[in-house]
């Protein structure tokens, strides 16, 4: 690596470009500026276990980030030589303590566990839970490994928690699901952008620069029950913040659509030429006039009308975009809510337009590619349906197996986790790239399910909260120690490049799956070389919706842009829908939707709606970012955002400890009084474990179409806590590492 390795950030799907070079000093100080705020002072005390930083990170010019990085990106190299790394297989003893064993022992234990489980309970008694951060090569191989080496249908991944409703709505309406069907830079020239349930100012700060044009035009419209950092960006004439009652986003979208139709703002020529289902949608909107929607959502009818008019004006002149995120999708009617947003975009003639569009914001680093090539319970590579005979035949030919060897559809993530340890459920589980003890809904039940398994294998580079529960933990490479590809939120395939040799004893997951496939006598070839795997992925995806067949490592290494679908002989597809939609007739399908009774329910007593979400400093379950001193120092613990009036009615002062409870569990955390939340709502970040784990309270009820769980409107009761201390929530580490339990704010 004489001149550094050009690669991409390991965190969110914006996939900001960066260059990694050998650190000039052991400290490896981060640059003095970033796109969201300066990193913490060098005087920030290091957490015990933080070692020398081996690489320096510098932002690299790329369309998504233009050289900028957020705090997580600047500090991303600090974990590569962290003393808490798992660097050899760790087996849990009868005393509950993990001790190191050899790789040969580990592989034999896994092989025996799989064979014994399947002999007693059948093939589907072995399950796999994957992750949206795995490279395309690992995600593809994991799906193949589950179906051919493990011979199980029981595979799904954590992307089911964050993108499945948007994907289901996109597939239903357009015939294809790609987060942004246009390059993110198209947003720069927009005059109006409607942001639905996404706080990009904290989740992917460099994205905010693409909103600046709309803000300057006074056309940034943000829908969020909380006045988030992104909602605050509408201030000083930058646009409008719509603050609906949690769970009423669908009604709000129907109200905006009602205005578009009944004020003659719809693009009727576009609708006639490009869609079907218009008449039924118009009928479904009749009951959602603005004043009625105001009574449901709390959003003034005047703002509902203004939003519709601005979107229509932008579509006719300066360009309008509608972007949806998890805030409106992580509900039991999330697919229908995303569908309502799509219907609105079609009424305005946005999809496929040269200057307007609709898209959804993918969250995880490879959330897009991770769901395209076989991790989902119902999909095969290339975004093919596992129930489609032609798809099965194609994949069987690429894999060199009889089609009958490929299992059918399995269980979506929440149902998969509910089956753990059950007599007819999963008894032996593999977890790759996920921390379900913190991130899954109703984590108390999930933890009990993990503990009831006969054998749990977790592949990770730290002893996450899920790894602590494992019988066997297998150490795998981190992002800067491996080669591969990922697909960012635009559907652009990019290269991950190796900049560092992994510690001795650490293996790639491709190596692990290749060895286990051999020991389990899998009927196909498994390679541990990423480029070889990608070449097979190209063949497997050919002809599918997510066709990568025209992409190879050489073109990516030359820096060529590669947006799928990219069939052999094409130039790729930066902008979808310019020539029609992916349905057989080329038209988009408009589907009537209406709020369910559950979605519009109100709480008559003193209970509140709990919304969960992210903080700028942390990522997902926090298993990585809580180990970085600069990040943990800024946000050391979960805080309950609560309206001052709501807090006063419960005798809670700013900084007091509060209990948040419901029938599933209890959270104990500090209260932070804030006018940014509605009086009927409280907000908790979901990055923290133990007594601060917000997902102790969320319900494992799901959208009936997508299988996405309801994360955003759990019913809770909030009281001032008698206790003034929070027990340390352990992030366990290998024996002898010297690391303490989870660091907590001392005051």
Is the pLDDT assigned to residue 47 strictly greater than 80?
A: no
Q: Could you tell me the pLDDT band of residue 365, with boundaries at 50, 70 and 90?
A: confident
Give the bridge partners for 457, in sequence order: 430, 472
User: Mean pLDDT throughout 556-561?
Assistant: 95
Over residues 243-251, the mean pLDDT reads: 94
Topology adopted by domain 180-361: Dimethylsulfoxide Reductase; domain 2 (3.40.228)
Q: Which residue has the higher pLDDT, 319 or 741?
A: 319
Assess whether pLDDT exceeds 90 at residue 548: yes
What residues have CB less than 8 Å from 703, skipping those under 6 apart?
164, 165, 168, 331, 332, 333, 334, 335, 709, 710
CATH class of the domain comprising 1-79 = mainly beta
Report yes or no: 173 and 411 within 8 Å, Cβ to Cβ.
Answer: no
Q: Does 159 have pLDDT greater than 50? A: yes
The pLDDT confidence band at residue 45, using thresholds 50, 70 and 90, is: low
Q: Which residues pair with 641 in a beta bridge?
A: 672, 683
Mean pLDDT on 691-711: 93
Q: How confident is the model at residue 722 (pLDDT cuts 50, 70, 90)?
A: confident
* 90-159+380-543 fold: Rossmann fold (3.40.50)
Q: Three-class SS of residue 166? A: helix
Query: Model confidence over 410-430: pLDDT tens digits?
Result: 999 999 999 999 999 999 999
Average of per-residue pLDDT values in the chain: 91
What is the C-alpha end-to-end distance of the chain, expressed in Å? 44
pLDDT digits (tens, 9 = 90+) for 221-239: 999 999 999 999 999 999 9
- pLDDT, residue 363, reads 84
What CATH number labels 608-720?
2.40.40.20
Euclidean distance between CA atoms 677 and 637, whole angstroms: 19
The number of CA neighbours under 13 Å toward the Cβ of 65 is: 29
195: pLDDT strictly greater than 50: yes
Chain segment 274-317, per-residue pLDDT in tens: 999 999 999 999 999 999 999 999 999 999 999 999 999 999 99
Is it the case that residue 565 has pLDDT exceeding 80?
yes
pLDDT in tens, 85-123: 999 999 999 999 999 999 999 999 999 999 999 999 999
How far is CA 2 from its chain centroid?
34
Q: Are strands 126-130 and 155-157 parallel, antiparallel or unpaired?
A: parallel
List the structure tokens of 447: 């933890």
Residue 339 clears pLDDT 70, i.e. is over it? yes
Residue 486 · residue 10 · CB < 8 Å: no
Query: By C-alpha distance, which of 221, 189, 220, 222 is closest to 354?
Result: 189
Residue with tokens 């309801």: 710
Q: Which residue has the tokens 């996450």?
A: 464
- The answer to whether 555 and 495 have CB atoms below 8 angstroms apart is no
Residue tagged 């902008």 (tokens): 575
Helix (H) or strand (E) holding 611: strand 608-613
Q: Determine the angle formed by the axes of helices 278-285 and 249-262, rounding to 10 degrees.
A: 110
Model confidence band, residue 52 (pLDDT cutoffs 50, 70, 90): confident
**Spatial CB neighbours of 704, under 8 Å, sequence gap ≥ 6:** 332
CA distances to 79, 509, 511 from 477, rounded to whole Å, are 12, 8, 11
Asked whether the CA dihedral 530, 533, 535, 541 is positive or negative, the reply is negative
| CA–CA gap between residue 579 and residue 656 (Å, rounded) | 58
User: Considering Cα of 368, then 369, then 375, then 378, what sign does the dihedral take?
Assistant: positive
Structure-token pair, residue 565: 């679908």
Closest among 373, 667, 581, 654 to 493, alpha carbons compared:
373
For the chain, the domains span 1-79, 90-159+380-543, 180-361, 608-720
Picking from 490-499, 546-555, 641-650, 707-716, which range would have the lowest pLDDT averaged per residue? 707-716
**What's residue 724's pLDDT?**
60
CA distance 513 to 375: 14
Per-residue pLDDT at 183 exceeds 70: yes
Query: How far out from the chain centre does Cα 15 lie?
Result: 13
Comparing 371 with 457, the larger pLDDT belongs to: 457
Question: Residue 301: helix, strand or coil by DSSP?
Answer: helix
Decide: 599 and 250 in contact? Cβ < 8 Å. Answer: yes
3-state SS assignment for residue 655: coil
Pairing assessment for the beta strands 192-196 and 220-223 based on DSSP bridges: parallel
- Sequence-ordered list of residues with C-beta below 8 angstroms from that of 564, at least 6 positions apart, any chain: 178, 372, 487, 491, 493, 546, 547, 548, 551, 572, 573
Average pLDDT over residues 317-335: 92
HSE at residue 393, side-chain half, CA atoms within 13 A, is 4
- pLDDT greater than 70 at residue 513: yes
- Give yes or no for residue 48 having a pLDDT over 70: no
**8 A C-beta contact, residue 513 and residue 149:** yes
* In the block, residue with structure tokens 């009831």: 452
Rounded to whole angstroms, the Cα distance separating 690 from 610 reads: 18
Between 249-262 and 301-316, two packed helices, what is the crossing angle to 10 degrees?
Answer: 60
Mean pLDDT, to the nearest integer, of 341-356? Answer: 96
Q: Locate 298 and state its tokens.
A: 């709390």
Across 423-445, average pLDDT: 96
User: DSSP class of residue 563?
Assistant: B
The answer, yes or no, to whether residue 20 has pLDDT greater than 70, is yes
Whether the per-residue pLDDT at 129 is higher than 70: the answer is yes
Cβ atoms of 394 and 541 closer than 8 Å: no
User: Per-residue pLDDT tens for 627-645?
Assistant: 999 999 999 999 999 999 9
Kindly calculate the radius of gyration of the chain based on its CA atoms and give it in whole angstroms. 25
Looking at residue 327, what is its pLDDT?
86
The burial class, CB within 10 Å (0-12 / 13-18 / 19+), for 573 is buried
pTM of the model: 0.93
| pLDDT recorded at residue 36 | 46
Assign residue 338 a region: left if phi > 0, alpha if psi is -120 to 50, beta otherwise?
Answer: alpha
The pLDDT of residue 158 is above 50: yes
What DSSP character marks residue 355? S
* Alpha carbons 710 and 705: distance in angstroms, whole number: 13
Q: Give 596's pLDDT tier (boundaries 50, 70, 90).
A: confident
């Amino acid at each position: 690596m004489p001149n550094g390795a050009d690669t991409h950030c390991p965190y969110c799907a914006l996939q900001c470009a960066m260059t990694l070079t050998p650190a000039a000093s052991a400290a490896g100080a981060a640059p003095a500026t970033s796109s969201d705020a300066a990193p913490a002072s060098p005087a920030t005390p290091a957490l015990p276990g933080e070692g020398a930083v081996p690489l320096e990170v510098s932002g690299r010019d790329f369309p998504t980030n233009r050289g900028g990085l957020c705090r997580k990106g600047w500090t991303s190299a600090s974990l590569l030589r962290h003393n808490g790394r798992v660097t050899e297989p760790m087996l849990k003893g009868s005393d509950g303590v993990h001790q190191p064993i050899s790789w040969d022992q580990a592989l034999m234990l896994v092989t025996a566990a799989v064979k014994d489980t399947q002999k007693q309970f059948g093939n589907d008694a072995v399950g796999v839970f994957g992750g949206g951060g795995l490279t395309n090569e690992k995600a593809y191989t994991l799906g193949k490994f589950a179906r051919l080496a493990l011979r199980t249908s029981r595979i799904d991944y954590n992307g089911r928690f964050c993108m499945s409703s948007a994907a289901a709505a996109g597939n239903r309406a357009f015939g294809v699901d790609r987060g942004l069907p246009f390059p993110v830079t198209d947003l720069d020239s927009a005059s109006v952008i409607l942001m639905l349930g996404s706080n990009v100012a904290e989740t992917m700060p460099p994205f905010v620069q693409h909103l600046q044009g709309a803000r300057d035009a006074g056309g940034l419209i943000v829908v969020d029950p909380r006045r988030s950092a992104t909602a605050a960006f509408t201030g000083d004439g930058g646009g409008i913040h719509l603050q609906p009652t949690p769970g009423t986003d669908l009604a709000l979208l129907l109200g905006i659509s009602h205005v578009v139709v009944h004020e003659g703002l719809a693009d009727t020529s576009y609708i006639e030429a490009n869609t079907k289902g218009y008449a039924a949608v118009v009928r479904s909107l009749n009951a959602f006039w603005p004043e009625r929607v105001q009574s449901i959502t709390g959003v003034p009818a005047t703002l509902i009308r203004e939003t519709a008019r601005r979107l229509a004006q932008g579509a006719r002149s300066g360009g309008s975009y509608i972007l949806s995120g998890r805030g409106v999708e992580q509900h039991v009617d999330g697919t229908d809510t995303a569908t309502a947003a799509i219907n609105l975009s079609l009424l305005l003639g946005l999809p496929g337009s040269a200057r307007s569009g609709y898209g959804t914001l993918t969250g995880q680093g490879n959330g897009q590619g991770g769901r395209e090539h076989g991790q989902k319970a119902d999909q095969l590579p290339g975004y093919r349906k596992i129930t489609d005979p032609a798809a099965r035949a194609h994949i069987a030919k690429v894999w060199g197996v009889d089609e009958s060897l490929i299992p059918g559809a399995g269980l979506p993530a929440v149902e998969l986790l509910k089956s753990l340890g059950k007599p007819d459920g999963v008894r032996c589980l593999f977890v790759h790239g996920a921390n379900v003890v913190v991130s899954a809904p109703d984590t108390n039940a999930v933890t009990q399910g993990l503990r009831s398994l006969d054998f749990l294998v977790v592949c990770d580079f730290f002893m996450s909260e899920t790894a602590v529960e494992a019988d066997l933990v297998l150490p795998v490479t981190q992002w800067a120690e491996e080669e591969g590809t990922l697909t960012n939120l635009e559907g652009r395939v990019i290269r991950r490049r190796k900049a560092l040799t992994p510690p001795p004893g650490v293996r790639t997951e491709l190596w692990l799956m290749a060895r286990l496939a051999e020991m389990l006598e899998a009927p196909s070839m498994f390679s541990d070389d990423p480029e070889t795997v990608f070449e097979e992925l190209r063949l497997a995806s050919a002809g599918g919706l997510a066709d990568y067949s025209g992409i190879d490592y050489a073109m990516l290494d030359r820096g060529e842009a590669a947006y799928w679908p990219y069939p052999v002989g094409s130039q790729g597809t930066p902008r979808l829908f310019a020539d029609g939609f992916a349905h057989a007739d080329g038209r988009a399908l408009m589907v009537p939707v209406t709020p369910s009774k559950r979605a519009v329910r109100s709480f008559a007593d003193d209970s509140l709606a709990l919304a969960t979400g992210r903080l700028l400093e942390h990522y997902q379950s926090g298993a990585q970012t809580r180990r970085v001193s600069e990040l943990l120092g800024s946000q050391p613990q979960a805080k309950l955002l609560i309206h001052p009036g709501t807090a006063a009615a419960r005798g809670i002062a700013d900084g007091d400890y509060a209990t948040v409870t419901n029938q599933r569990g209890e959270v104990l955390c500090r209260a932070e009084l804030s006018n940014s939340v509605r009086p009927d709502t409280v907000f908790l970040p979901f990055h923290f474990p133990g007594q601060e784990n917000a997902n102790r309270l969320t319900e494992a009820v799901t959208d009936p179409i997508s299988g996405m769980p309801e994360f955003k409107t759990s019913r809770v009761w909030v009281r001032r806590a008698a206790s003034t201390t929070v027990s340390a929530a352990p992030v366990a580490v290998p024996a002898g590492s010297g690391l303490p339990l989870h660091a907590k704010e001392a005051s």
